[in-house]
Every structure is written in structure tokens, then in C-alpha cells.
Amino acid sequence: MRDSLDELQILQTVTQEIGQVLNIDRCKIELYNGDHTKAEVAYEYTNMLPNCQGRTRMAADFPELEFQLAQKQSLQFVEFVPEFDLHTQATRLVCPIYDDQGVLGNLWLLRPQEAYFEVDEIRLVEQVANQCAIAIRQARLYQQSQIQVKELARLNLLKDDFLKTISHELRTPMSSIQLASETLETLLDKEIGNKRSATFSRVLDIFRSACNRQNQLVNDLLTLCYIDAKKEMMTMQWIDLSVWLPQIIEPFTERMEHQQQTLTIDLPANFPQFKADISTIKRILTELLNNACKYTPAGETIGITALAKDQRIELIILNTGIEIPLAEQQRVFDKFYRIPNRDPWQYGGTGIGLALVKNLIELLGGNISLTSQPGKTSFILDFPREING
């Protein structure tokens, strides 16, 4: 009975097996409602009419019986059976189905008046009732978890729909703002040339940087929303990391120098080429390097290591001077989660970067893992050397 997570199947198995093993006329299970005011026959095994399945009784109508069952004690007695007629008596055995959380219901057995239940038979029924309680509780927990899974899926769908809508709505005005920024800069170059003040140039840089950051945010959101569609757009090609890695790193070198961070690269000579989508690899490394720049304090190191293992490639991006607590390690790849109070440069962020990285590396058939210890944190990318498009 405990092999199933279907409550009805559990009840059917219990009643049929008990009925056949003990060769009895009727075996039924009744289950209480939430406040134990009513009991309903949830399943009945019988070889005679009438069938009582679905019938209910009010607990208040049987106070003595309910009191003893609430004490988790089995009862055997002879009584008239109203299901048949007012003149037929039978022997009944009723065993409570309970666990440490309370009584769930009762297991009822019926025999002719003269055929009482032996002690060994009662013990057997009580053991079955105990196992039945465990099986019912497991089935209900499973059912509750399935309901929660469906509700979470529904909420995720609503959230994704909202993100798609808001991303599309933001894309047009942000593109217009960026175009206006570029046009303004061109006009200023024509009108005043090099006569800009340092303050004016600084304000313009902030404006340009903010436009780029917001456009990147919109693009990241759209990539997250349409991650499955992105796989159809990937173009696989052989990548020589010794050629591509300097191009990916170049935009970060000035920033690292300004923040007094040291960059180390461990790329073995004759490192094998691998086949993947270069734009995806670039997006992954860019996000991880951006992350490293944000969280690495002055005087510490950002390192990139490449390893070739059989038919797989491993890339490690590490930064020193920071540790991510274990509780936070479990959440850094969640959408919109940000590590609290860990940004020495106050760059801020939205918390979608690492979620995007995880989705992109999985599109390449790989995975990302995180190791962190005092003074050192590493993100490890592992993916096949040849990824089929």
C-alpha cells in the first residue's frame, strides 16, 4: 500500500487485501473531515449488497464509540446492522487509523454474529491500519506538493509574461534615449568641439553610461524571457581562446587598473579549440568578469584559468579578497537575488546576471558551479568541447 501515492488506490488495496486474507463479508475505511465532526466511507470492499461507499455519519451521534476511537483503541462488538435490516446482527471490528498527528479515520470489518475476530487477526488489522495512516499521510503530502508546484508554475508564467511585457515596453523608449544621447554628443562635438568643461564631460559620461546600462538590462531581461528561442539562433563555430579571450578582456582592463585590481590569465599553450556559439561564450565571460570587478576589493586579484579535460572544457573565473557565505551560495543563481553588502565599488545591480549566465551555460550543454572559501571565490564553467547546434 505504501508503494502508491494515490490515496484512493491505497484505500482500495487495504480494504481488498484485508477482506480477502481474513475472508470477511465487508471491509471499509471511513475518513474524517477537517474538524472530525463527520466521517465518510471513502472506500468499501464487499461481496454483498448494499454498498455503503460515500455514506456519511455524524461523530456526535456516536459519542461512546468516538471517545474510545479517539483514545486510539480498537473495538469489537456485536450490533444490529442497519445496512441490512433491523433484525440482523453481525460482529464488527473497528480499528482507528492514526499517526503522531492524530486520527485520520477508521478501518471497519464485518463478520456474521458468531464469527468473532481472534487476537492475532486484530493485531494484523491494527498493523495494517498503522501502515495505512503513513501511506495516506504521504499521499496527501504529495498531493499538496503537486498543488504547490502547479501554483508556482502558474506564478512563474505570470511573472515571465510580465517581464516580457515590461521589457518590450522599455525597449523602444530606451533605444530612443540612447539614440538621442549619441545624437547630442555628435552635435556637441560640432558646436563646441574641445571646449567642454570637465564637469560637462563627466555629466555626459554618466548619461551615456546610464543609457548603456539600462539598455543592457532590457536586453538581459529579454534574453531570460526568450532563453529557449535563443538556442535556435546560436551559430556554432570553432573558437580559439588565445584569439578571442584578449578581445573579451580588453573592455575591463582600464576599469581594473582604476580599481587597483590585478588580472591573471592561465591559458596553456596550444590550448585546443572548442566548438560553441561565440556570442554566448562572450556574454557569459563578460558577465562573470563584470561580477568579479564589482566585488573584488582594491589590491586583490581577478584570475581566468582554462583547462582541457578529455572532451570537455573548464573555465574558472576567480576573485580574491571576498568569501560568499554558504547560505548565499545556494541563491546567487536565482533571478533578482543580490548578495547583500558585498559591493565595495557601489556599482549596484539587478541580480539577473548570474541567473542569465546559468541559463546560457545550460544552453551550451554545460553547467556552472561555485566554490568559496575565506579570501577566494571561484565560478567554474564546464561544457563539452564540441557543442552541436
Query: In this predicted model, what pLDDT tens digit does every residue of 136-186 receive, in sequence order?
Result: 999 999 999 999 999 988 987 887 787 777 777 777 787 888 888 888 888
Distance CA 359, CA 221 (A): 12
Among 36, 32, 42, residue whose Cα is nearest residue 11: 42
Nearest to 313 by CA among 243, 389, 366, 248: 366
Bridge partners of 318, per DSSP, are: 303, 378
Confidence band for 339, pLDDT divided at 50, 70 and 90 = low
Residue 24 scores a pLDDT above 60: yes
Residues 330, 228, 217: CA angle, nearest 5 degrees: 65
Residue 84: the pLDDT is: 61
Buried b (16+ CB within 10 A) or exposed e, 331-351: ebbebeebbeeeeeeeeebee
For residue 300, give the amino acid letter: E
CATH superfamily of the domain spanning 7-147: GAF domain (3.30.450.40)
Q: Regarding beta strands 38-46 and 102-112, do their DSSP bridges make them parallel or antiparallel, or are they unpaired? A: unpaired
For the chain, the structural domain boundaries read: 7-147, 149-230, 234-384
Please check the confidence at residue 204 and state whether its pLDDT lies above 90. no
pLDDT the model gives residue 202: 82
SS3 334: coil
What does pLDDT average to over the chain?
86
> Grid coordinates representing 277?
556559439
Name the pLDDT band for 333 (thresholds 50, 70, 90). Answer: confident
Please state, as a whole number, how many other Cβ atoms lie within 10 Å of the Cβ of residue 379.
23
Across 290-298, average pLDDT:
89
Position 313 pLDDT exceeds 90: yes
> What was the pLDDT predicted at 349?
59
Q: In degrees, to the nearest 5, what angle opens at C-alpha 177 toward C-alphas 176 and 178? A: 90
The answer to whether 297 touches 260, Cβ cutoff 8 Å, is no
Q: What is the pLDDT of residue 104?
A: 95
Which of 75, 124, 77, 96 is closest to 30 using CA atoms?
A: 96
Helix (H) or strand (E) holding 156: helix 119-191
Query: Is this prediction's pTM over 0.75?
Result: no
Cell, residue 149: 508546484
User: Poorest-confidence range of 92-106, 160-174, 254-268, 324-338?
Assistant: 160-174
Predicted local distance difference test score (pLDDT) of residue 60: 93
Strand runs labelled E in the chain = 26-32, 38-46, 56-58, 75-80, 89-99, 102-112, 236-239, 262-266, 274-277, 301-309, 312-320, 367-373, 376-384
Sign of CA pseudo-dihedral 65, 68, 69, 73: negative
Give the pLDDT score at 205: 80
pLDDT at 209: 77
pLDDT at 88 > cutoff 80? no
Predicted pLDDT of residue 53: 86
CATH entry, 149-230, from 1.10.240.10, 3.40.50.150, 1.10.287.130, 3.30.70.2190: 1.10.287.130
Closest CA to 314 of 249, 254, 248, 241: 241
Give percent above pLDDT 70 in the chain: 92
Pair type for strands 312-320 and 274-277: unpaired
Do 78 and 89 meet the contact criterion of CB atoms below 8 Å apart? Answer: yes
| Band (229; pLDDT cuts 50, 70, 90) | low
Cα(197)–Cα(205) distance, rounded to whole angstroms? 12
The residue ranges of DSSP E strands in 159-311, in sequence order, are: 236-239, 262-266, 274-277, 301-309
Specify the pLDDT at position 232.
Answer: 66
Q: Greatest CA span in the chain, whole angstroms?
A: 113
The verdict on domain 234-384 having CATH code 3.30.565.10 is yes
The Cα-based distances of 11 to 53, 72, 92, 374 in angstroms read 12, 19, 19, 55
Answer whether residue 346 shows pLDDT above 80: no
